[in-house]
Each structure stands twice: as C-alpha cells, then as structure tokens.
Amino acid sequence: MDKFLIKGPCKVKGQVNISGSKNASLPILAATLLFDKTVEIKNLPRVRDIDTMLELISSLGFLVRRNYKNGSVKITRLKKIKTIASYSLVKTMRAGILLLGPLVAKYKKAKTSLPGGCLIGARPINYHLNVLKKLGMQYSIKKGYINAYIKTSLVGTTIKFPKISVGATENAILASCFAKGKTILKNCAIEPEIKKDLTNFLLKAGVPIKWIGKRTIQIYGVKKLKSISYSVMGDRIECGTFCVAAAMTEGNLRIKGFNPKLIKTELNLLKKTGAKIKIYKNEIHIIGSKKIKNIKFLQTKEYDGFPTDLQAQFMTLLCKAEGRSVISENIFENRFMHVAELKRLGAKILIKKNKAIIEGKTKFEGAELMSSDLRASVALVLAAIVANGISIINRIYHLDRGYENIEKKLSKLGVNIKRIS
C-alpha cells in the first residue's frame, strides 16, 4: 500500500495548474448513459473515482475510449445494455448512486448497489429514492441492492427537497431529462458543479433546462440527446487546497485554470488570515503571511457558504494562527477524523459535539500518520509540509480518489515529498 514521505518545513512557491473537477465530472459521466450517440467529455482528472465511474459505465455495456494524454473520454452506447451497477465497483465510491436516475429514466429499470465512499457521515440515500419515487419510480431494497423500475416513463412534477442535497439534486436533474412534461425542482443544491457545469452540459445536449430562482430549476423532458463534446470545469476543492498550502507556508503561488469568482467565500476568509491575494480572469496569485491571523468562528454551509470539503484544510491552517479559532461542522456528523492525527503532530484541538476549538501557534513535529478519508488526507499532507522533520502518511489511496498527481504538483512547488510503494 502506497504512502507519502514528507520532509518539512517547506514553502510552496511557483505555478500550479488546476485539474478538471472530480465533483463536476461524476454527474456528467452519469449523464452519458442518456445518450444514444457518442459523447465526448474533456478535462477529466486522472483520479480513482473517475476510473471507477468509467469502469461502471463500461460494465453496463458502453464503449469507453479514454485518451490519457489530453484528459478526454469518448463514450458510445452499444446494442446490449446491462442495467446492473455492481457492488464490487460501487462500494468504493459514493457517486455510484448517480447511475440510478439515468438508468431508470432511459432503460425503465436498474439494479444498483447501495453506495460506499468516505466514512464521514450517514449520507442517507432516502432523498435520492424519494425524489425518483415522486417522478414515478418504484423500488425495493434487497441484499444491498436497489431494485428499481418504471412501467412506462417518468412523469414530470413539482418537487421540493426537504433538505439541500448535492447528490439527490444531481440524480433528480438527470432523471427529469427524460420525464414526460415539465419538472420543477425546489430547494436544490447550487454548487457550481451543478449550477454551472451539469446544467450547461445538459443544455448543450438539447435539454430545455433553466434556473428560475436561486434554488429552483425547471426542466422539460426530451426523448433523445444530441451528440456533443464538453469540457469540465476546474476543481474547486483542489484550487482551495492549494490556496491554503500557500497561505500556511509563507508561500508565493500562482494558481491557473480556475475561475476565482467561484471561491469568493474561501478567498475572503484567507484574506482575513493575512494572505495577500490578487485575482485575474482564470488565475489566483496568493502570498502567505508570516503571521497567520485566527478566525474566531467559521461554519460549514451549503454553497455559497464555506464548503465542508475544505474544512479539514482550513483547520490545519488555523492550527498555525495567532490565537483561538472555532470551526462548526454543519454538513456531516463525522468529519473531524483528521483531528486525532493532527494531534499526533502537536495540534491542540478540542472537539465539542460539532465544534472544533483550535488553539493556535502550533509547532508541528513530524510523525507517522494514518489517512481516514479524502479531505482529511490532504489536511495531513498540508500539516506535514510545515512540520519540522519527517512525516509518513499511510493509506494515501484516499487521496488518489480526488487529487490528480498531488505529489508531482507539490514537488514542482518546492515540497520535499515522495511516494513510497
């Protein structure tokens, strides 16, 4: 099993290009099940979750031709299509559930394994099932599989989500593309991966889809989609992670290939900690401060609030700040698993229910660490970069699920990091 060996402290300096967004690519790849003709997706990141999704699509009977040189994939429907998403593939990735909506909408049936992924909270799929049921899907759950079917077709209706859910919003949008008539979805998640990328992709493919309110989307169902080529947006969380890396190492970093407007909240918070930031059209220039200022209270929220996927990285930064900071985690109930490992490096953090109280001025000392989930893993990498001495980070397969060539990118920026097999 691979691990990282990091010798700190290091400063992050230079230029980095942001890879395609994992969280935008996954629902767009799920949408390719709706096409009869070839569809091309560009700017895919080379990460494990994308590999798994493409394996899943291939296992259903689609021809998947991937070009690793330019980061594109062409997906073509073959004659015989299977509608079973197996446990062996879905168990490692939460996004496997996104195949349910398209399969049922297009092929009238689906047998999908209950999903896996990071153990950061309950993340129930009842929101997915409830919205698809309101569109006309019937289902039962047996032996760890969702057995779903429709008699004729899904039928458009008006649905309001009881709670904002990224995955359920995506599944509902995908299924509604082939539902009869008009569907209106209220209280939707509005992350850029949905409101910018997934919507634009479906619009280009011929779906009459538009946002008619901040969290309300209107979709008219179609019978077929146009063959298109589409380039995925840059990865918002990778961009935020590199911003934090520069801020906490007194770094000087130019980040290219991402629209700064999409992380306005995060950049404003980094300015509060003392970082100097200049933004351009698709570029961010960030210089870290010698003295990092604390943030008295920070809470995770749905977009356009502070994202839970950057909570662990910001916590690591605030360990180095002058004074006490508090982070309230309001999205997932089990997302402080990195805290125990940060303490091994010398962090002083107290957990009270969903709040983490962080005492600043931590002098991280290198140690051997264990990754628990995707974003927690990268927080440990950030801490190791500023720690004195050698740190070893185990179980980095979590990182490989969501960060493309992170050790190569960090090496080019001056970080002493090696992958050990």
Give me the pLDDT at residue 13, please.
Answer: 98
Query: What is the rounded CA–CA span in Å between residue 223 and residue 60?
Result: 21
Report the candidate in 207, 145, 208, 195 with the shortest Cα–Cα distance to residue 166: 195
All structural domains of the chain with their residue ranges = 3-19+234-420, 22-231
- Pairing state between β 416-420 and 3-8: antiparallel
Give me the pLDDT at residue 116, please.
Answer: 59
Contact of 235 with 19, CB cutoff 8 Å: yes
Contact of 150 with 138, CB cutoff 8 Å: yes
For 22-231, the fitting CATH number among 3.20.20.150, 3.65.10.10, 3.40.50.970, 3.90.190.10 is 3.65.10.10
Residue 40, both tokens? 């091309």
pLDDT tens string 143-182 = 889 999 999 999 999 999 999 999 999 999 999 999 999 9
Give me the pLDDT at residue 243, please.
Answer: 98
Count the neighbouring beta carbons within 10 Å of the beta carbon of residue 83: 20
Cβ-defined contacts of 278-283 (< 8 Å, 24+): 282/234, 282/256, 282/257, 282/258, 283/254, 283/255, 283/256, 283/258
Positive or negative, the Cα torsion across 106, 139, 136, 218? negative
Give me the pLDDT at residue 123, please.
Answer: 47
Report the candidate in 412, 45, 66 with the shortest Cα–Cα distance to residue 253: 412
Question: Does a cis peptide bond (omega within 30 degrees of 0) precede residue 9?
Answer: yes
Give me the pLDDT at residue 57, please.
Answer: 96
Which residue is catalytic, options 118, 177, 188, 239?
118
Active site (annotated) includes residue 118? yes
Query: What is the rounded CA–CA span in Å between residue 390 and residue 382?
Result: 13
Question: Does a cis peptide bond (omega within 30 degrees of 0) precede residue 36?
Answer: no
Give me the pLDDT at residue 121, please.
Answer: 42
Residue 19, both tokens? 């890879």
Classify domain 3-19+234-420 by CATH number: 3.65.10.10
Segments of the chain scoring below 50 in pLDDT: 117-123
pLDDT tens string 302-324 = 999 999 999 999 999 999 999 99
